[in-house]
Every structure is written in structure tokens, then in C-alpha cells.
């Protein structure tokens, strides 16, 4: 059985506290769908409340740590201490439309030794309030779903692989680039899914539910936790050029070692065309 460290306990407590409120708010969304104004304002408020709840919990536990948050932006802390990277509601559009697929994502990023920027992500939690699933990881300690160890899938053939992605929308992302990649990967794989929450896509990849994932034009808070969870589950995460960084947001390609190589080759050839 996995023993939770102090920092993971703090993260899970914050996620669960915010998640309980989100779960209750999600139950109200279907009743707002028929109103003239619609649920958008309600969901925006729910997002802000969740972020504030997480912020208050994490600040109380580590008062000298900084924050990177979707709504509040960057809040500086002690430059020699880690910082939290928080997405209080990944999958807002799903939440807005009453689709039960969204998550809270929290990661810890360490300062670079000697100063001058930020380095490795060392702890991560992705929590789905609807399913009550907590995916978590710590650097060099593995990835877990509750107290069960996670491993990426062992599939080696693209023809058996189920791949997740995110599709550009309303000015976000590059349709031309995505179409080229989809055109190259789609015919080679068993299926492609778009569920609308990158943190959960990456957590599901770590759990072996997906075999690969690609997306671009994301933010650090979308992927910081998921990147570590995939890596600690034995997966590979890079940008489209194959470079590996602590967090990938502008471009993300993730899979097990064999499928990552195959997907990367297809992707590179597609973008050369």
C-alpha cells in the first residue's frame, strides 16, 4: 500500500474540499440548462470558488510557496521554495454542458538549483470529483490511483492503440497542424478520442486506459500534474520535436516508449508535408 507523503496529503485534501463543492454545483447545472441566461455565469463562479478553496488550503499548509493559477495568475512566494500549479476546473465546457468528465489538477514545481527559473515537477494530483478518483504521483515514487500502482499500457502496435487528443476550438490551437497530425495518425490506430480535459487524458494514459495522447496550445496548469503522472507510470512525454521538459503545454506527445517513437515519427512526417 502506498504511503502518502505530507505534500500529497495536503494536495489531496485541497482537491477533495474543492471537489465536494464542484460536485454539488455540477448537480445544479442540468437545472440551469433551460434558463434563458444559461449556466455560464454559474459555472464561472463555481470555477473561481474552487480555485479560492484550493488556494486557501495550500496557503495554510505552505505559506511561503508561490502559485500559478488559471484564474488568479502568478502569485509570487519565496523564490527558494517550490510553487503550486493549479487548475481548479479542467474541463469547464464539459461541466457547463452537464458532462461528468472534469478534474482538479495540482502540481508542485521546484525552483532551479542556483536560482533563475523553475525546474522539475515533483508531486502531482489529478482528482475527478464525479468518480472520486485521485490520480497522484511523486518523483521517483511512482504513479498511483488511490493506493493502486499505475503503469502505462504495454501495447506495442498502433493498430491496437486508443489515442486521446484535444481538438482546436474558437481560436485556440492550430486547425491546420491538428488536421495534418490526425490525418497521419488516424488511419493507423484503433481509435481516437476527444474528451475535453487534458489532465484526465494524461491520468488515463498513465492508468492504461489510453495508449497515447497529443495536443498543443495548452497551459502549464493543464499538463503539469499529468506529465509527472505519465512519467512515473513508465511513459514518455515530449514536445513534437521529441524534446523532454518538466512541463509540456505548447505541444504534448505522450505514450509508452514504443508507441511514443511510432507516433512521433508519424507526427513529424505529417508536419513536414
Whether residue 124 contacts residue 7, with contact meaning beta carbons closer than 8 Å, is answered with: no
> Considering the entire predicted model, what is its pTM?
0.95
- Domains of the chain by range and CATH? 6-149 (3.30.540.10), 158-272 (3.40.190.80)
pLDDT in tens, 130-177: 999 999 999 999 999 999 999 999 999 999 999 999 998 887 788 999
CA distance 39 to 54: 23
User: How far from the centroid of its chain's Cα atoms is residue 255's Cα?
Assistant: 14
CA distance 161 to 182: 14
Cell of 178: 491538428
What are the DSSP calls for 39-52, one per residue?
A: SHHHHHHHHHHHHH
pLDDT in tens, 178-234: 999 999 999 999 999 999 999 999 999 999 999 999 999 999 999 999 999 999 999
* CB atoms near residue 262 (< 10 Å): 18
**Mean pLDDT lowest among 105-109, 112-116, 229-233:** 112-116
pLDDT in tens, 230-272: 999 999 999 999 999 999 999 999 999 999 999 999 999 999 9
Closest-CA residue to 238 (of 227, 224, 226, 229): 227
Closest-CA residue to 233 (of 258, 263, 207): 207
**Per-residue DSSP letter, 62:** -
Q: Report the pLDDT value the prediction gives residue 241, as an integer from 0 to 100.
A: 96
Q: Report the pLDDT value the prediction gives residue 39, as an integer from 0 to 100.
A: 64
CA-based torsion, 173, 176, 179, 185: positive or negative:
negative
Give long-range contacts, CB 8 A cutoff, 24+ apart: 174-179: 174/216, 174/217, 177/216, 177/271, 178/216
What are the DSSP calls for 159-227, one per residue?
A: GG-EEEE---BTTBS-HHHHHHHHHHHGGGSSEEE--S-HHHHHHHHHTTS-SEEEEES--HHHHHHHH
pLDDT in tens, 21-71: 999 999 887 666 545 455 677 778 899 999 999 999 999 999 999 999 988
Cell of 112: 532551479
Amino acid at each position: 500500500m502506498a504511503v502518502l507523503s505530507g505534500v500529497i496529503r495536503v494536495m489531496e485534501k485541497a482537491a477533495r474540499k474543492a471537489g465536494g463543492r464542484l460536485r454539488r454545483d455540477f448537480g445544479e447545472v442540468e437545472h440551469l440548462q433551460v434558463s434563458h441566461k444559461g449556466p455560464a455565469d454559474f459555472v464561472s463562479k463555481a470555477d473561481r470558488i474552487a480555485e479560492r478553496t484550493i488556494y486557501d488550503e495550500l496557503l495554510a499548509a505552505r505559506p511561503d510557496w508561490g502559485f500559478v493559477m488559471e484564474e488568479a495568475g502568478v502569485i509570487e512566494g519565496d523564490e527558494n521554495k517550490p510553487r503550486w500549479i493549479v487548475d481548479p476546473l479542467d474541463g469547464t465546457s464539459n461541466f457547463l454542458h452537464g458532462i461528468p468528465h472534469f478534474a482538479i489538477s495540482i502540481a508542485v514545481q521546484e525552483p532551479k538549483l542556483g536560482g533563475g527559473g523553475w525546474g522539475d515537477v515533483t508531486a502531482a494530483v489529478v482528482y475527478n470529483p464525479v468518480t472520486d478518483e485521485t490520480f497522484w504521483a511523486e518523483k521517483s515514487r511512482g504513479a498511483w490511483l488511490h493506493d493502486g500502482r499505475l503503469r502505462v499500457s504495454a501495447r506495442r502496435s498502433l493498430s491496437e492503440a486508443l489515442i486521446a487528443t484535444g481538438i482546436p476550438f474558437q481560436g485556440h490551437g492550430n486547425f491546420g497542424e491538428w488536421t495534418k497530425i490526425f490525418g497521419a495518425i488516424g488511419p493507423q490506430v484503433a481509435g481516437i478520442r476527444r474528451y475535453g480535459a487534458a489532465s484526465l487524458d494524461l491520468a488515463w494514459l498513465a492508468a492504461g486506459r489510453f495508449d497515447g495522447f497529443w495536443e498543443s496550445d495548452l497551459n502549464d496548469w493543464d499538463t503539469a500534474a499529468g506529465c509527472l503522472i505519465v512519467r512515473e507510470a513508465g511513459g514518455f512525454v515530449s514536445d513534437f520535436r521529441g524534446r523532454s521538459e518538466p512541463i509540456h503545454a505548447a505541444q504534448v506527445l505522450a505514450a509508452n516508449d514504443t508507441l511514443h517513437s511510432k507516433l512521433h515519427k508519424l507526427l513529424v512526417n505529417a508536419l513536414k508535408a
